[in-house]
Each structure stands twice: as structure tokens, then as C-alpha cells.
Structure 1
């Protein structure tokens, strides 16, 4: 029997179910449903590769042999025909390797690492607002440092933090494109930074209240409104406003509030939930807020969702205060440093900061809950002006 071109046109039409070899690696795979598929088997660098060429009858015998001959030559030259074809298809559809499409693809690949699977859009927003409007349609293989410089120059000094996030995430997208086999310049973002120069922007810390002034402010929160109660609990626990505003009643058990890992910010590499010790005063504030609860949320908005961060900030702003709610974390951290003997690790754990390397954390399997409980009680005693002194709320008619 001939080693190649074994089939006749009539055989291809009437071939029984199964695999049939035309020779030189070209196979016809006939299915039970009557359909058939052409498959080419080649060996590249000692590894067998199977390449689908198309279905019969849309791809006839003559064309299948022609394609098989072409891809055998590619394999004989030491190149992978499957990868060669993928590269040709990408070149034929250059819009498919535009920065916009590669950005979306990179985002999909990273979603599991992001808080809430990136549903808030914060990872994408620096790119969608400042980069993609100008470079979104450009093939990622064509983007160089001058394109990046010209795109980010308008915000490089005026919105430095946003520009930094944009260029860092653009670097991630470029690396993702390279991993897909695209010929991109992985140094383009670093070269762009060199062209843009050092930013003149001086970052500003969020204004914080001096820890010595916190007791007076806490005592002034004497109305049983959601805003006052939320600010009280924010001060007592030292958490960020996001987890506090989204606090659910089923997250509280005894004197511990467990914040889900996905709700925590700034804990990259940490997968465990975060336990927050609740003092007697904190539990009292939670009880006072319970009548406001809706759908399991302790601090619901009047319409839907939860109270906004701006609600808390505006309340302090109306009082003429420079400090903002997030600043109470700084107040607590400074009090820990100046008024207690808490170790660095425990003090950082009070604010849910991740410290040390992943290796050290792997061996140090504790969240210092017992020590943090004692410190939370001491902080509460200080904030309330005594040994957890109960502050009466004003009666609201």
C-alpha cells in the first residue's frame, strides 16, 4: 500500500466510523454522527503534536493534503505548526491584540487575587480612564515607551498616585501579553518612567486626630444615629470604614467580630478572615445600632446598601474638623506606640497590617487575639474616659 495519498475521494465520502490514515501523518476521523475531521500528526523536537485542520466536507481531500504538506514542512524546519498558525491568526486579526482586549484578558486572569473579584473596578479604573481612551485600539506589540510617556504625562505630576497605578498595571498587561507569546517590549514601562522623570507630587497623609483629643470627640457622639454609632465603633475597633460600614450581624459571635478575608484591604498574601476583638463598650454600641439593622446589615443606608464613607467624613467636616474617619487608625496606632508597651507585631496586628515575609507568617500562626483583646479594652477605657465608662446618649424625640 502507498505510504502517502492512500485515500480516494469516494472513500472519504463513505469511510466508516473510526480513524483512517491517508499517510504521512494525515488522518481522517469519522464520527458516529456522520461528521468527520482532518487531523495532522507531526513530531517537533521529539514531541508529537496533533493539529486539527478542519472538518469534512467543508475541507476536501485535496485541500487537506495541501495544508498537511505545508505544516509538515514547518515541523521539518523545527518549528511548532500549531504555534505558527496561532501567530498567523493573531496577525490576521490585529484588533484581537489591541491593548484594550489584552487588558480585559489580564484582568480576567487576576480577578481571583482582587478584593471581591475586582467588581468595584478599582484595578481597571486607572487604565480605563487614563490609558485606554488613547491607546486602547493600538496593538500591544506596537506600544513603546514614547506612547506611554505621552499618555501619562498630563497626570504624572498632578495625579501621581493614579499615574503610578496606571503604569504598574500597564506593566502587568504587557507581561500577560508576553506570556501569550506576543512580541512586546517588557521594558517599555520602565523606559517611560525614565522619560517622565521623578514626580513632583508630594503624597499627603489622611488627616488624623491627636489620640489625646479622641476621648472628647467620642463623648460628643452622643446621639443614637447611625452616623454617630458608626463613628463610635470605628474609633473603638480601629478598622477601616469599608468593613465597618458593611458589617453584618452574623459576623459577630460573642466578643469577636470576624471580617471576611475578601473584605480586607492591604492584606495581600493573607487568606484568613480577620478577627476583631470587641470591648464591652463596642458591644453596647452594636446593640444600640441593632434597631437600625436591615437585611442583616448593621449600618444600612436609608434607601439601599450601606451608609457611605462620605456620610462619616461630612459629619466631621461640618464640625470644622480637619481629621477624617480613616485617621482614627493613625490615632490608635500612635497611642499604641506612645502609651503602651505593645510589641510592633501586636500593634500592627491591631490595624490588620501584614508584616514580615510570607515565610515568617507561615510559621507564626497567630493573630494575637488575646493580646489585642486586652489592648482593645485599654483603648476603650482611655477613649471613654475611664474604665469603660458608659456615656449616655441624648434622647431624640
Structure 2
């Protein structure tokens, strides 16, 4: 019999990204973003089967081992654990076929696909806040487009994005109910959308700080805390908060930060990693933040996992500012447009945007790294109030 109980609770808590075997088919899959999932691998009737046992740390090592033992027992008697669990889920849904029960089951089934196993609550919250209070106790088989319309109508023209997310999640829940064998109307959400009509809500841009005001705000970030250091690097690089919060030490090589392609947003058609040249000020911030690094993350929270996406926003709210962290990308873009003659392609690449059509991108072999290096050094000089060295961009920006 293969060895078992290879992992320890201490190792699991600080395990690096990768796959770690506890023995007898039980694996801990640790993702780069800090999330982790327990997976049990078995061979049933000559077929390899794999089933998730829950996310860590909500499921501890001891709990994962007990669950693994339970499902191994099912396999030993000749049954397929995956199908058995599906059968149990169907029976549970039939026993209490309310929308809330099925929605929670659908959320549990999707956790492994969500960032941090959905702990931030962003996937489930549109349902929890806007759908389940009215429809949670209704049998899922009874829900039709009129129920959905009446539930989301108050949001449809005022909080369109929230309503859209709630409608999307509800559609997923109905598909999950159908997979459980329940008789639901899979077209109910589309029908409800038709009944609701076109939203009159106009999207609002994320509030941004004027580029001329950024130095004064940057000067307030004097504390050597994870939050303030992360805010400083966010401003200096112009990246989105996602790649910044999940920045791992191995992504930095000298004065280049390489963001994995999968972590980038807004680069439709781009499959390559994105290189960010680091200014002298940015490197100094990274040096200050390095002692706080935990589990490979430069900006980790007190539990050693990825910094929450609300942390930076809350800091600006506490300062009574209307602007939000994402808005610093607009600050940088406006500064480029108003104070430099950086070509459009270079300026857009500064923000990680893919420019040109697929054919143009296929033939373009440059990411304008050196031009961006000069511009980001000048941007750092601006946000630090002129404390840096002004560098001229030859042939691209003055």
C-alpha cells in the first residue's frame, strides 16, 4: 500500500505553489494566487477519477484525510465516488429543492475555479444580496422569467452591472439544477432579460486623480506598511491591482517585473507575458516591501495570502478621496498624453493594452521596453515631486 500522511499541517500552511502528495491519491494543489484545493485521485473500473474535497484552509489536512478515507471506502465496495457524490447531491436537492439550497450547491461546485476559492464572496454576493432574499425559499423548479424580472427590476436601471451579474449567476444555478436532474426552465434568465428591456443605466468611469495631484498624494504614503508600499508601486508602474497584489518574488529579475500572461487583463489576443520596467523609485519600494514578503508574495496579508482587492480602495476612502486605485492608470495615461510625445502604441503598452489588429501584433516583435523604461523613470520623477533624475526619451518623448 502506498505511503500516506506524508504532509504536515505546518507544511500545508506554508506550501509553495504546486502539487503536493499526502499519499494514497490525496493531493494538495496550491495555486500561485494563494488558493489551494484538496483533490483525491483514484482508479475506478480501470478509469482514473479525480474529485475535489474542498479548499484549504476551510478544509484542514485532518478533514481532507477523513473525507479521502470515506470516498476510498466507497471505491473499495465497487462504486464510483464521483457518481455517488452526484447522486447524494441530487437527493439533497430533491429533499430541499429551494433556490437557496441549489445555489449554495452550485457555488460549492465552482469554488475551485474562483480566485481564493471564492472567499471574497464576489461570485455569490449578487445572489445573496439581491436574489435569495426574495426567491431563496422558492422551489427552483417553480422559478420562471416573471419571478426573475420582478426580483431584478429595481436594479436593472440603477445598478445595471450588479443586476447583470445576478442574472448571470442565476443562469449558472439553473444549469446546475438541471444537471442534478431537476425540471427547471433553462431559458428563464434570457426570457427575464427580454422582459426587463434595455437598461437605461449609463456606466460610470472609475474616479481618477488628476496627474498633477498625484505627487501630493504620493507624499502622504510615508509609512512602511504593506498597504502603503503596495499603493506606491501601483502608482509607479501603472499596472492593475490584480497583478500587483499577486506579485511573486520570482517574477522580479533585476529591474524587470514579468507578469504572467494569464494574470493580464485587457490584452485580447495577447498570449505572451508582460514585462514592466522598474524605475529606481519602484526598486526602492520593492526593497522596503521585501521584509514583509510571505509565502512568495511581496504584498501578503497577515495570513500570508494575497492582499485583498479592497485594501487599497479602503485606504483611499479613509482619506476621504473620491479617486480609486484603478484610476491611477488614467492619471498615468493623461500625463503621457499631456506632457510627453510618446507614440500611441508606446503609451497604450505602458498600460498593458494590446494595440493594433491580430495581423499587426503578429508582425510586431517589440514591447517598447526601453522607451517605457525611460517614461516610467520620468513618471517616477513626477510623482516623487522631482526627487528623481529626469531622463529624456530619444526619438519618442521629450
Q: TM exceeds 0.5?
A: yes
Calculate the TM-score normalised by the size of structure 2. 0.59
Q: Which has the larger radius of gyration?
A: 1
More moved, 168-177 vs 284-293: 168-177
CA distance in structure 1 between the aligned counterparts of 2:364 and 2:177, rounded to whole angstroms: 37
CA distance in structure 1 between the aligned counterparts of 2:241 and 2:116, rounded to whole angstroms: 16
What is aligned with 2:247? 247
Q: How far off its partner does 1:236 sit?
A: 0.4
Q: Secondary structure at the match of 1:289?
A: helix
Q: Answer yes or no: is 1:206 the counterpart of 2:206.
A: yes
More moved, 355-364 vs 330-339: 355-364
Q: Secondary structure at the match of 1:164?
A: helix
Q: Secondary structure at the match of 2:219?
A: helix
What is aligned with 1:327? 327
CA distance in structure 2 between the aligned counterparts of 1:302 and 1:322, rounded to whole angstroms: 27
CA distance in structure 1 between the aligned counterparts of 2:176 and 2:363, rounded to whole angstroms: 32
For these two proteins, the number of residue pairs brought into alignment is 303
Q: Answer yes or no: is 1:296 the counterpart of 2:301.
A: no
Q: How far off its partner does 1:155 sit?
A: 2.9
Q: Secondary structure at the match of 1:258?
A: strand
More moved, 251-260 vs 225-234: 225-234
Q: How far off its partner does 1:175 sit?
A: 7.3
Describe the superposition over 1:369-388 as per-residue Cα deviations: whole angstroms up to 9, x where unpaired: 33332322232232234472
Describe the superposition over 1:237-262 as per-residue Cα deviations: whole angstroms up to 9, x where unpaired: 11223332332222211111123344
Change (3 A) 1:107 1:274: farther
Q: How far off its partner does 1:356 sit?
A: 5.8
Describe the superposition over 1:26-75 as per-residue Cα deviations: whole angstroms up to 9, x where unpaired: xxxxxxxxxxxxxxxxxxxxxxxxxxxxxxxxxxxxxxxxxxxxxxxxxx
Describe the superposition over 1:56-104 as per-residue Cα deviations: whole angstroms up to 9, x where unpaired: xxxxxxxxxxxxxxxxxxxxxxxxxxxxxxxxxx9xx978998778878
Matches within 5 A, 1:130-279: 130-131=130-131, 143-171=143-171, 188-266=188-266, 270-279=270-279
CA distance in structure 2 between the aligned counterparts of 1:372 and 1:129, rounded to whole angstroms: 43
Describe the superposition over 1:134-165 as per-residue Cα deviations: whole angstroms up to 9, x where unpaired: 55687777643212202212433443221012
Q: Secondary structure at the match of 1:257?
A: strand
What is aligned with 1:287? 287
Q: Secondary structure at the match of 1:332?
A: helix
Change (3 A) 1:294 1:149: same
CA distance in structure 2 between the aligned counterparts of 1:298 and 1:226, rounded to whole angstroms: 9
Describe the superposition over 1:90-122 as per-residue Cα deviations: whole angstroms up to 9, x where unpaired: 9xx978998778878987998897656766553
Q: Secondary structure at the match of 1:388?
A: coil
Calculate the TM-score normalised by the size of structure 1. 0.59
Describe the superposition over 1:256-301 as per-residue Cα deviations: whole angstroms up to 9, x where unpaired: 1123344444556655433222112111111122233333332333
8 A contact 1:115–1:262 mirrored in 2: no
Change (3 A) 1:303 1:110: closer
Q: Secondary structure at the match of 2:204?
A: coil
Describe the superposition over 1:157-188 as per-residue Cα deviations: whole angstroms up to 9, x where unpaired: 44322101222344566678899999976654
CA distance in structure 2 between the aligned counterparts of 1:94 and 1:152, rounded to whole angstroms: 26
CA distance in structure 2 between the aligned counterparts of 1:319 and 1:134, rounded to whole angstroms: 37
What is aligned with 1:380? 380
CA distance in structure 1 between the aligned counterparts of 2:175 and 2:362, rounded to whole angstroms: 29
8 A contact 1:247–1:299 mirrored in 2: yes
CA distance in structure 2 between the aligned counterparts of 1:263 and 1:281, rounded to whole angstroms: 24
What is aligned with 1:66? none
Q: Secondary structure at the match of 1:326?
A: helix
Q: Secondary structure at the match of 1:205?
A: coil
CA distance in structure 1 between the aligned counterparts of 2:332 and 2:347, rounded to whole angstroms: 9
Q: Answer yes or no: is 1:342 the counterpart of 2:352.
A: no
Any stretches of 5+ residues in structure 2 without a counterpart?
1-89, 391-398
More moved, 363-372 vs 227-236: 363-372
CA distance in structure 2 between the aligned counterparts of 1:358 and 1:118, rounded to whole angstroms: 34
Change (3 A) 1:185 1:339: farther
